[in-house]
Amino acid sequence: MSVALSTNRSSEGIPATGMNDFSSEQKQYLQGFFAALNAKGVSFGDMAAAPVGEAAPPGPNSDELTREERIKHDLHPFDAMDQLTIDARWNAKPETDFVFRHKWNGLFWLNPVKDGYMCRLRIPGGVVKSFQLRELASIARELTTGYIQITTRNNFQIRLIEPKDCPEVLRRIQACGLHSRGAGADNLRNFTMNPCAGYDPYELIDVRPFVNELATIVISSKEFYDLPRKFNIAYDGGGLVGSVEDTNDIGATAVRIGVNEEGIKPGVWFRICLGGVTGHQTFASDWGVLVKPEELNRVILAIVRVFIRDGDRTNRKKARLKYLVEGRGLEGFLDDVEALGGFKLLRVKEDSKALLAREFSQQGHTHVGVYPQKQAGLNYIGVAVAVGQLTARQLERMADVADSYGTGEVRLTVWQNFIVPNVSDAFVASACKALQRAGFDTVESPLKSGFVACTGNRYCKFAATDTKGHAIAMMSYMDKRVKLDKPVNIHFTGCAHSCAQHFMGDIGLLGTKVKSESGEGYHITVGGGFGENRKIGRQVFTGVPFESLGGTLEAMLKGYLAKREGEESFQEFCNRRTVGELQEVWSQ
């Protein structure tokens, strides 16, 4: 049988294009090769050069690009792995440009604070298995300090890895089914979701399939590893424990649409909010559209692609999605996304947004305690971890409890805690005792369950204060002196990057240098919130030395308890008073 791929061929059966590029010996070989194929009736057409597409829109000149953009364009960070292995042979610190590039593999050089790396993993949705926990514990014990941290993006970080051990750490992480690709720098960061997705009896839709699908698409395409800046995405399917989605660049929130006069098909849809960066004192803004679940990730990817194409690569301080959306307006940005994605989105009229209200109000501190699942006879146990800091042994105990009393699965939360799902009614008490013996709390505390802290200056060069150490000290100090009956969140962050999102805390603490014995202190904001209670906190005190922090926080919380009206929350108490009035109450 003759297989003719083209009728346009040279007399010798050799593709004519590029023939002059071969030597005489190569031509002779190819002539014989193609002659044999021709004898069998197989022929190849001339290979024409690919047509030239439309010119790309003009971008910034190379000299206008930021230093980080030039580093990326000189050598894609994923192509820097060989340099990492070379440095490992000599246990050598990385050169300056490679410090930035290695973040694409989740490796952060800690100098000048420490000579070593931090490895941030990538755990979509915070879902991790018991065998993975055990291997991470072994890595932490054998190759690092023996500690591991839960982050505010339902993720893990391992700190103080010597250069010589980096390739082995990455190999072992990958061998247990995890990875760290794109965990830092200008990438789509770890995807977050409701930690009880699939189990929560109040959820509208299980968002795990969306998280897993997007994670698979992203890791399979280099396209998504060259963003103008970091990019956060969160999914919220409803339920008791939220995902704080409105603090992300993209937040997808499930809503149920009932029978209506707007012509909208009843059922579960998603709202989209854009541009959340609480460190820049901004929550994400509702986009005014509804998206069908089956179209959700297609829309999200189109948003990301517009950001990749049009985001500011000349100014790192203005490179987040927030600034692109503000520059074009929500409607203008919507037009750009529709044009690139090739679809039309369902707009929701301003006077119809009552249709989009949540049908269930998420509650505070429901990430700690025992709660029934939608599956009859099963429960999930929310476990408090003091500011997310774990030992290798505690990680192994987590795995033991998940295997012995659950189904070998653990969920990480954005509150730096974890959840053990699928615990039968008969085993709840035993599981809680095992967790408590490991040094964890399984009973919700209105005070201790709400502490969140970034890494701090023990390992981060940007932090002005020892946030984790100070948070643990304040947790102990306050627990002995103040008894609350309503949950309060207290966020410790060491610098203006606000990794612990202090502006959304009931009490937010921003580290600063002060004149005191420790030299460390905090600016204090109050009244922040998220979700239905979203609000950026207001600063009430400046530069409070750590030595005075316990007394200040004690006075604030006791003043709230003494002066509140009825059952109002701490946030409500703060937000019905001016800053001056609050200062007066707390100085009495």
CATH code for the domain in which residue 529 is found: 3.30.413.10
CA proximity to 445, closest of 413, 402, 482: 482
Strand order in the sheet with 538-545: 451-453, 490-493, 507-513, 520-526, 538-545
Q: Which of 150, 175, 200 is the last residue of a domain?
A: 175
Question: Is the torsion defined by CA of 484, 487, 488, 493 positive or negative?
Answer: positive
**How many CB atoms are closer than 10 A to CB 576?**
12
Whether residues 302 and 229 share a domain: the answer is: yes
| Band (20; pLDDT cuts 50, 70, 90) | low
How do beta strands 490-493 and 507-513 pair? parallel
Q: How far apart are CA 283 and CA 322, in angstroms?
A: 9
Tokens 């998940």 locate to 402
Mean pLDDT of 60-87: 93
Cα distances from 189 to residues 130, 155, 477, in angstroms, run 23, 10, 35
Whether residues 162 and 252 share a domain: the answer is: no
Whether residues 146 and 263 share a domain: the answer is: no
Within 8 A by CB and 6+ apart from 476, the residues are none
Whether residues 309 and 265 share a domain: the answer is: yes
How do beta strands 156-161 and 147-150 pair? antiparallel
What number of helices (H) and strands (E) belong to the chain? 15, 22
- Judge whether 199 lies within some domain: no
Strand stretches in 312-359, DSSP E: 346-347
Kindly report each contact of residues 201-204 with a partner whose C-beta sits within 8 Å and lies 24 or more positions away, as own/partner.
201/239, 201/372, 201/373, 201/374, 202/238, 202/239, 202/240, 202/360, 203/237, 203/238, 203/239, 203/254, 203/374, 204/237, 204/238, 204/239, 204/254, 204/255, 204/256, 204/268, 204/359
Angular region, 186: left φ>0, alpha ψ -120 to 50, beta rest: beta
More confident residue, 413 or 59: 413
pLDDT at 5: 38
Strand order in the sheet with 378-383: 127-129, 409-412, 418-424, 378-383, 369-372
Tell how far CA 221 is from the center of its chain: 19
Check whether 432 has a pLDDT greater than 50.
Answer: yes
- Judge whether 132 lies within some domain: yes
Check whether 213 has a pLDDT greater than 90.
Answer: yes
Counting Cβ atoms within 10 Å, is residue 554 exposed (0-12), middle (13-18) or buried (19+)? middle
Mean pLDDT of 424-436: 98
- Judge whether 187 lies within some domain: no
Q: How far apart are CA 566 and CA 560, in angstroms?
A: 11
Least confidently predicted of 190-194, 225-229, 263-267, 336-340: 263-267
Whether residues 233 and 339 share a domain: the answer is: yes
Check whether 49 has a pLDDT greater than 60.
Answer: no
Whether residues 426 and 532 share a domain: the answer is: no
| Band (53; pLDDT cuts 50, 70, 90) | very low
- Looking at the DSSP bridge assignments, the partners of residue 120 are 157
- Judge whether 389 lies within some domain: yes
Domain that holds residue 94: 65-175
Q: Which of 356, 384, 419 is the last residue of a domain?
A: 356
| Band (16; pLDDT cuts 50, 70, 90) | very low
Mean pLDDT of 222-235: 97
As a whole number, the mean pLDDT across the chain is 90
Check whether 391 has a pLDDT greater than 90.
Answer: yes
- Judge whether 193 lies within some domain: no
- Judge whether 161 lies within some domain: yes
Tokens 């703060």 locate to 574
pTM metric for this prediction: 0.88
Cα distances from 206 to residues 179, 243, 379, 381, in angstroms, run 24, 13, 17, 19
Check whether 378 has a pLDDT greater than 50.
Answer: yes
How many domains are contained in the chain? 5
- Judge whether 188 lies within some domain: no
CB of 490 within 8 A of CB of 451?
yes
Q: Which of 425, 444, 463 is the last residue of a domain?
A: 444
Whether residues 332 and 380 share a domain: the answer is: no
pLDDT digits (tens, 9 = 90+) for 89-125: 999 999 999 999 999 999 999 998 889 999 999 999 9
CA proximity to 367, closest of 391, 393, 385, 389: 385
* 475: DSSP letter: H
DSSP codes, 271-304: EEEE--BGGGTBPPEEEEEEE-GGGHHHHHHHHH
